[in-house]
Structure 1
Amino acid sequence: MSRGAQPAEPEWLAKPSGACCMKGHLHEGEPAGTFEHLADIETYVSQPPSETANGHVVLYFPDVFGFFTNGLLVCDAFAKAGYLVLGIDYFKGDPIYMHRDGPKEPKEGFDFEAWLTKHSDFASQHVSGWIDAVKQKYGKQETKYACVGYCFGAPYVMNSIASDSPACEVGAFAHPAFLKEQHFKDIQRPLFLSCAEHDFTFETDARNKALEILREAKKPYHLQLFSGVEHGFALRCDLSKPYERWAKEQSIRGIAEYFDLQLGVYEKRTQDPNK
């Protein structure tokens, strides 16, 4: 390295979101939650049924589609599993699907990179304060926190389970983006990885490297890998195809059950046959 030269920027393990992230199917349904502002950011709040509520919170970090029906229904699914779910709109009402023509193509003249930079800058500056606002309003002494992120949301999961005093006790992501080796080295809490066989952001070699890092550091993790599906499967799959629907549902179920395990919900439920 020449005098004064800077070290090379670490390569991505999960690459940044790309224009391909504009693809996907929009699902039908009526989200059950409500909207409010926390830390001046629109927040989706999905309450668990009283009979299944476990007293804990899931933080939802959306993909580039933001607050679209698919994602809100996923939030509702975690709520049905017993969690109070709060999702952040770090796109400020400007999700990517508003900039596409039809199911796949961006509108003519749309600058994806400029859009991405603007919202990435906002999210990196405001997620921490939003989490603090969630805890201040909804947290109790006994509350535990989990987090889940899709694509764009993955690094906020990793940040939330890193450091000596992480914001969450457990995290999960599906088809992640924007992750480097250091993200996997830094985590201090269990991680659930819900992955697609064919993923342009998190390819097989990169996924294997991430697992190697986790194994060598003896960090607790669980890998869920689906054959025959692509990036976006856990949010934007084709529900008319039974296997794709099953994979999406299994992703949600696997993440929720891992949260149950790590937060002590599973242990309490198996000890009490009435739960």
Structure 2
Amino acid sequence: MPDFYHGAVLGEDSFSIEIEGDKVELKTDPSFDFGNWYAANNPDVRMPEVLECARKLRSQYSWTGAVGFCWGGQVGFKLASRSNADLFNAVSIGHPGTDKATEDDIHEIAVPFHIIAPQYDPTFPQEYKDMCNQEIPKLRVDYCYDYFPGVVHGFATKCDPKKELEKKALERAKNAVVHWITTHT
């Protein structure tokens, strides 16, 4: 897998999620300059490289799928779009982060699309989850939305293995992605 960040690591401790009642907030480590990192690595900046990689893969394989989490989840909306529909047979995303998917991004989905959504996610709030669940079924593409109660953004790529809820959610998410991709081969 190519390093689309060009060595600019977004470490596990670069951010945290705080939950107070219904309020969910993303906190960044003050020693990490997220603004500069994001300016250099936001999905729109890196999309040409992502598409170049996707085209190369597609030229070598008759079937391709995309799986993306957080940053890659946001990219997944663009990879599933009508303009890129010839690149992937299916896309699965988990807790898409950084920029929120726009209604246009959602209406452009043209390939089988799968979403893994945690209960607590400041980058994929309930109104966006609702928009996906209202609008994607209208597109007549195969669509699956898997909801994971009690977990936060990032759960499907990292969890505290000592916390049974997180561990089970991560395992269920992995199985859901594998099932989605193998169902569409």
TM-score (norm 2): 0.82
> Contact between 2:58 and 2:64, CA under 8 Å: does it hold in 1?
no
1:107 deviates by: 5.1
Higher RCO (C-alpha 8 Å, min separation 6): 1
Aligned partner of 2:40 in structure 1 is 118
Aligned partner of 2:18 in structure 1 is none
Is 1:169 the counterpart of 2:169? The answer is no
Q: 1:105 to 1:160 in 2, by over 3 A?
A: closer
1:122 deviates by: 4.0
1:154 deviates by: 1.7
> Contact between 1:90 and 1:122, CA under 8 Å: does it hold in 2?
no
1:217 deviates by: 2.8
Q: 1:100 to 1:175 in 2, by over 3 A?
A: closer
Aligned partner of 2:20 in structure 1 is none
Aligned partner of 1:129 in structure 2 is 52
Is 1:148 the counterpart of 2:67? The answer is yes
> Contact between 1:99 and 1:107, CA under 8 Å: does it hold in 2?
no
Cα displacement string for residues 207-237 of structure 1 (whole angstroms, at most 9, x for unaligned residues): 0111101123333211110110011110121
> Contact between 2:80 and 2:90, CA under 8 Å: does it hold in 1?
yes
The size of the alignment, in residue pairs, is: 171
Cα displacement string for residues 77-101 of structure 1 (whole angstroms, at most 9, x for unaligned residues): xxxxxxxxxx331111111118849
Residue identity in the other structure for 1:134:
L
Percent identity, aligned pairs only, is 21
- CA root-mean-square deviation: 2.3
1:158 deviates by: 2.0
For 1:193 and 1:261, locate their aligned partners in 2 and report how far apart those are by CA, in whole Å: 15
Gaps of at least 5 residues in structure 2 are 16-26
1:197 is paired with a residue of what secondary structure?
strand
TM-score (norm 1): 0.57
Is 1:190 the counterpart of 2:109? The answer is no
Is 1:218 the counterpart of 2:140? The answer is yes
For 1:248 and 1:98, locate their aligned partners in 2 and report how far apart those are by CA, in whole Å: 16
Give structure 1 regions of 4+ aligned residues with deviation exceeding 3 angstroms: 98-101
2:183 is paired with a residue of what secondary structure?
helix
The equivalences for 1:30-69 within 5 A come to: none
Give the number of the structure whose alpha-carbon radius of gyration is greater: 1
Aligned partner of 1:159 in structure 2 is 78
Residue identity in the other structure for 2:77:
M
Residue identity in the other structure for 1:174:
G
Is 1:227 the counterpart of 2:146? The answer is no
For 2:51 and 2:150, locate their aligned partners in 1 and report how far apart those are by CA, in whole Å: 36
Aligned partner of 1:84 in structure 2 is none
Cα displacement string for residues 182-230 of structure 1 (whole angstroms, at most 9, x for unaligned residues): 1111011111111101111112222011110112333321111011001
